Amino acid sequence: MLAGELYRPDAELAADQTAAEHWMARYNASGASSGAELHALLSARFRKVGKDAVIRPPFFCDYGSNISLGDGVFLNFNCVILDVVEVVIGDRTQIGPAVQIYTADHPRDAATRRAGLEFGRPIRIGSDVWIGGGAIILPGVTIGDGALVGAGSVVTRDVAPGATVAGNPARPRQA
């Protein structure tokens, strides 16, 4: 799964997802907790959580263990990260409410899908990126440092460092 190769969900993955569901229930019920308590909860589940990283609950993910957050990262309410493979978010990146980040993908061939096979493609979001509310980041996308993604955009391709993209599909815009 982590190598991006085809896999079939099994009992071990189901157990990992169940553990993540229990973690999300605790995290999402902890709205009144201090910043330090929320950071500790994130650190208990995620691969890496940088200094002063914040995710405002509610938050949803597949596993959590494939997510790395840099220093000062901020995710607003209602974000979803399908992390069947690695998701890396760089320092000081800000992500608006209801943003969805999808690494999970499915074969284009119907017979392969029917066989229950899946795969994932990693997502890398650079430092100092701003992603507007409701944006969707599709599998395999890299967003370069300092880029801006407009609210409601569907990002289907890599975004160059410093670029501004918007729309469905997201296309370069003049800043």
**Active site residues per annotation:** 106
Tokens of 47: 């691969």
Q: Tell me the backbone φ, ψ of residue 110, rounded to 5 degrees.
A: -60, -40
For 16, the enclosing helix (H) or strand (E) is helix 11-28
Give the residues across from 159 on adjacent strands.
143
User: Is 131 within 8 Å of 142 (Cβ atoms)?
Assistant: no
Cβ-count burial 43-60 (b if 16+ within 10 Å, e if not): eebbbebbeebbbebebb
Q: Tell me the backbone φ, ψ of residue 112, rounded to 5 degrees.
A: -70, -40
Tokens of 109: 């061939």
